Structure 1
Amino acid sequence: MKSNKPLQAPPERILVIAMQYLGDVLLATPLLHSLKTHYTEARIDVLVYRNTVAMLEGNPDINYAITTPNRPKFTDYLQLLPQIFRRYDVTITLQTGDRPFLYSVLASPFRVSVVPPKKSTGWWKRYFMQRWLEHDDNDTHTVLQHLKLLDLLEIPRKFSLIPPQIKDAQQLALRLPCLADGSRYVVLHPHPQWTYKRWTIEGWVSISHYLINSGYKLILSGGPADSEKAYIDEIADQLPENVINLAGQVTLAELATIIAGATLFIGPDTGITHLAAATGVPVIALYGPTNPVKWAPWPNNFNQNTNPFHKVGNQQVNNILLCQGEADCVPCHLEGCDRHRQSRSHCLETLAAETIITAINKVLNLSTTSNLQS
C-alpha cells in the first residue's frame, strides 16, 4: 500500500532493518541484492542483531552493518541512536516488532515496512509508513514477502541468496585438505537452534554409517555453544575417528565455503540449512512442525514469483529435497508437541533413517544399499 508521499529518487542512503534470526538475515539478501542492482550508487546499510552479522561477511551489496544486542540496555540505545537518527533517505523494515518500528521512524522520513494485519496487535503501525505490506505468516515464502516490499518502490526483483564469503579460501584448504584434494565429502549439520526442530541422534548415526560405507568422507558442523558441541560429540563418538568434527571451529563464511565444496548437505530446519541451499550444493532438509511454504530453504536458481514448496509432502525443487515428518498434524506451525522451543516433536522423532537414506540414494544416484551399522 502507498501513501501520497513521493519517494525522492534515487535515494542516496538506505537502511534495511533485519532484526531476526541467522537464517532470516540470509533470506533478506535477495532484497539487498535487488536494491544494490537498482540503486547502484546508493549507500546501503543494514541493522541486525550482533549474533547474526556474520551471515553478511563479505556481502558486496552492503556498505556497513550496524549491530545491536538482542536485548539492549539503555546504554545500547544511546549508542545506536546517533548512528541512525535521520541519517537515511529510506528505511525498509522486514519485521513487525516494536523496536524495528521505532528504529525505522527515527532513521528516515520515508519508511517501507511489513506491518501486522488488521485486527492484530500493532495494526496501527501502517499509518506511520509511506509504503507498507501486511505480514503473511502462512502462505507467502519469506523471500517473496521481502521482495514484495520492493514492488511498492517499483524495484525489479532479484532472487539469488548471497552467502557470506571469505577472503582466503587457500588458507582454509590448508586446514582441511579434503577441500582441495578432490575428496567426496558430505556435510551433516545435526543441531538446530531449538529442540523442537531436532531429529534423533540415532537417525544421524545411522545415515552417517550409510554414507561412510558408501565411500564418502563425513564432516559434522555445529555452532560454538556448549550444548551444541556436546550434541555433536555424542554423534561423533559413535562414528569412526576419521570423521571431521568442526562444531565451533569455523566461521559462517568458512562453513559456507566448506559446504559449497560438498557432494551433499543434510540438515534440519535451521539457518545453516538455508546457508547450504544458497551455496547451490544438493540439500536434504528435515522438516517437522515448520510450514515449508513460509520457511523452506530457497532453492538455488529458483527465479520465480511463486512459493517453491507446498505445505505437505516430501518434495524436490532444484537443489533442495525436503523430507517432512509423517503425521496428520504436519505442519502444525507450532513449537513442537508441548508448544515451547525446548519441546519434543513426535513427527521428527518418528522420521525413519530409512526415509532419509532413500533421499540420499535419490540425490547421489546410489543404486545399492550399503550395510547399516548401529
Structure 2
Amino acid sequence: MKILIIKLQSIGDVLLISPLFYNLKKYYGDSCILDILVNAGTEKILQTQYLNQIHTLKRNPNKLQRIYDELALLKAIKKEKYDMAIGLTGGERSAFLAFWSGAKIRVGFPPNSFWSKNLYTHKLTPKHQHNLENNLEALRILNIPILSKKVLAPMPQKTTNLNNLPPHFIHLHFFSRLFFKCLDDSFCAKIIDTITQTYHIPCVLTAAKDSRESKKLQNILKLCHSKPLYFDGTLTLPEVSLLNSKALAFVGVDTGIMHLSAANNIPTFAFFGPSVVTIWGPWDNDLDSSAYNKQNGIQQMGKHFVYQEDFDCIPCGRAGCNDTKISDCLLSRLNQQKALSYLLDFLNNIIRHH
C-alpha cells in the first residue's frame, strides 16, 4: 500500500498529523510505503522513522521558478503511482493534488467549490474536537484501528550548538509568526526574572530566524534584570527539539514550538489568547483523549497547562481583537499577577519532584 499524506500548513499543524504514521504502518505492515507532502520549511519538524519520502511545496517569489518547482512536484507525485492519498488541509490545492496523484482511495476535507468538492472518494467533516483527533478521522472513515495517539517529535541529531547548555533549565519561546498570539515584552521579561529569582534555575530562550522575532527577543532581553541564555534564530528545528527535550519545563505561547514541547513529553505551560484551546491545546502523549472541555479559562491536560482569560469574547478565533492583530487578552487585559501565580504553582510541582 503506497500512501501520500498532504498537509500544507505550519509546523504545529504538520506535527499533529504524526500519529497517523504509526497507525498506518501498523495496519498495513511492511507493505506500507508512506510519503508526505508539506510546505517547504516545515519538513524539519517531522520524525522520519516511518516515512519513505518527503515532498515539499516550494513557494518561490520568482514566478518562473515557482512554476518550474510546481511542475516538478506534479511530475514527482504522478510518478509514484499512489494507492491512497490523504488530504488533511481543507482547500482546493490539497484536493487537487490528491486527485492528481491517481490514487483510487482519496480521503480528505472537501472544499466548497463546485469543481473540487467531489475530488475525494471519502469525505471528512471537521468536528469541534482537538486538531489531532480531526486528523485521525482519516483513519476512522477507513475503519483503521487507532492504536496510538502519540505525537512524534523529530529524532535527536548530534550538534555542537548546544554543548554549553546548563544541566537544568527552563525553556521559553515567546514567539509566533502570528504576533497577535504573543505576550507583552515587559511581561515576558517579568516571567524570566521571576523564574530566575524564585528557583535559581537558568532560563533559555529560543526564537526563529526572523527579523520581527529577533527584534522582540532583543527588547525582552533589555527589559530583563537577569541574564538568560538565548538562541536568536541560530538553531534548526531539530536542534530546538533537542534543546527542549533537555529542559525541566517549557513556558511559551500558542505556537508550533509549544506542540513540539508537548511531543517531547516536557511539561508545557502555554498562554492562549484568541485561539480555541479545545482544538489547539498542547496534547499529552500519555493520555488517549483530550481533557480540554471548557470554552476558556484555566485548563489542563495531564502534565500540560493552559492559561487563558475567561472573558466572554474568548475564544474569538480572530486575528486579534476585531482582527486588529492586537489581542488585549494577552496584553492590557491579561491578569499578570494571576498568571504568574498559576505559573509558579505549575513550576513548583515540577521542581519539587526533580
Q: TM-score, normalised by structure 2?
A: 0.90
1:78 aligns with 2:71: yes
**Which of 55, 75, 86 is matched with 2:45 structurally?**
55
The share of aligned pairs that are identical, in percent, is: 26
1:192 aligns with 2:186: no
Structure 1 partner of 2:14: 25
Structure 2 partner of 1:330: 314
Structure 2 partner of 1:8: none
Structure 2 partner of 1:265: 250
CA distance in 2, matches of 1:191, 1:134: 31
Which sits farther off after the overlay, 35-44 or 265-274? Answer: 35-44
Residue 47 of structure 1 aligns to a residue in which SS?
strand
Amino acid across the alignment from 1:15: L
Amino acid across the alignment from 1:114: F
Task: Quote the offset at 1:188 in angstroms.
Answer: 1.0
Instruction: Give the root-mean-square deviation of aligned CA atoms.
Output: 2.0
Structure 2 partner of 1:365: 348
Task: Quote the offset at 1:288 in angstroms.
Answer: 0.8
Task: Quote the offset at 1:193 in angstroms.
Answer: 1.0
After superposition, what is the alpha-carbon deviation per residue over 1:132-155, rounded to whole angstroms, capped at 9, x for unaligned?
Answer: 21123xx11110011111011221
Residue 266 of structure 1 aligns to a residue in which SS?
strand
Show the 5 A alignment for 1:112-123: 112-116=107-111, 121-122=112-113
Asked whether the equivalents of residues 298 and 308 of structure 1 are also in contact (C-alpha less than 8 Å), the reply is: no
Residue 365 of structure 1 aligns to a residue in which SS?
helix
Asked whether the equivalents of residues 96 and 119 of structure 2 are also in contact (C-alpha less than 8 Å), the reply is: no
Which sits farther off after the overlay, 36-45 or 264-273? Answer: 36-45
Cα separation, partners in 2 of 1:60 and 1:222, compared to 1, 3 Å = same
Runs of 4+ in 1 over 6 A off after TM superposition: none
User: Structure 2: which 5+ residue stretches go unaligned?
Assistant: none
Asked whether the equivalents of residues 107 and 120 of structure 2 are also in contact (C-alpha less than 8 Å), the reply is: yes
1:106 aligns with 2:97: no
Residue 283 of structure 2 aligns to a residue in which SS?
coil
Asked whether the equivalents of residues 277 and 297 of structure 1 are also in contact (C-alpha less than 8 Å), the reply is: yes
Task: Quote the offset at 1:124 in angstroms.
Answer: 6.6
Which sits farther off after the overlay, 25-34 or 35-44? Answer: 35-44
1:275 aligns with 2:260: yes
Task: Quote the offset at 1:241 in angstroms.
Answer: 6.7
CA distance in 2, matches of 1:308, 1:327: 17
**Which of 187, 196, 212 is matched with 1:203 structurally?**
187
Q: TM-score, normalised by structure 1?
A: 0.86
CA distance in 1, matches of 2:114, 2:251: 39
Cα separation, partners in 2 of 1:156 and 1:233, compared to 1, 3 Å = same
After superposition, what is the alpha-carbon deviation per residue over 1:305-346, rounded to whole angstroms, capped at 9, x for unaligned?
Answer: x56443222011112110003422011111111315xx1011
After superposition, what is the alpha-carbon deviation per residue over 1:151-187, rounded to whole angstroms, capped at 9, x for unaligned?
Answer: 1122122200001123326x4552x241xxxx32111
Asked whether the equivalents of residues 93 and 100 of structure 1 are also in contact (C-alpha less than 8 Å), the reply is: yes
Asked whether the equivalents of residues 272 and 307 of structure 2 are also in contact (C-alpha less than 8 Å), the reply is: yes
Structure 2 partner of 1:3: none
Cα separation, partners in 2 of 1:44 and 1:356, compared to 1, 3 Å = same
User: Structure 1: which 5+ residue stretches go unaligned?
Assistant: 1-10, 368-374
Cα separation, partners in 2 of 1:307 and 1:126, compared to 1, 3 Å = farther
Asked whether the equivalents of residues 207 and 353 of structure 1 are also in contact (C-alpha less than 8 Å), the reply is: no
CA distance in 1, matches of 2:17, 2:221: 33
Task: Quote the offset at 1:260 in angstroms.
Answer: 1.4
CA distance in 2, matches of 1:255, 1:166: 10
Amino acid across the alignment from 1:122: S
**Which of 242, 247, 250 is matched with 2:235 structurally?**
250
Amino acid across the alignment from 1:133: L
Asked whether the equivalents of residues 114 and 134 of structure 1 are also in contact (C-alpha less than 8 Å), the reply is: yes
1:233 aligns with 2:228: no
Structure 1 partner of 2:5: 16
Task: Quote the offset at 1:361 in angstroms.
Answer: 1.9
**Which of 318, 327, 334 is matched with 2:302 structurally?**
318
How many residue pairs get matched?
Answer: 340
Task: Quote the offset at 1:254 in angstroms.
Answer: 1.2
CA distance in 2, matches of 1:44, 1:123: 30
Asked whether the equivalents of residues 68 and 80 of structure 1 are also in contact (C-alpha less than 8 Å), the reply is: yes
1:354 aligns with 2:337: yes
Amino acid across the alignment from 1:96: G
Amino acid across the alignment from 2:150: S
Asked whether the equivalents of residues 205 and 231 of structure 2 are also in contact (C-alpha less than 8 Å), the reply is: yes
CA distance in 1, matches of 2:86, 2:349: 46
Structure 2 partner of 1:140: 129
Structure 1 partner of 2:286: 301
Cα separation, partners in 2 of 1:103 and 1:130, compared to 1, 3 Å = same
Amino acid across the alignment from 1:156: P
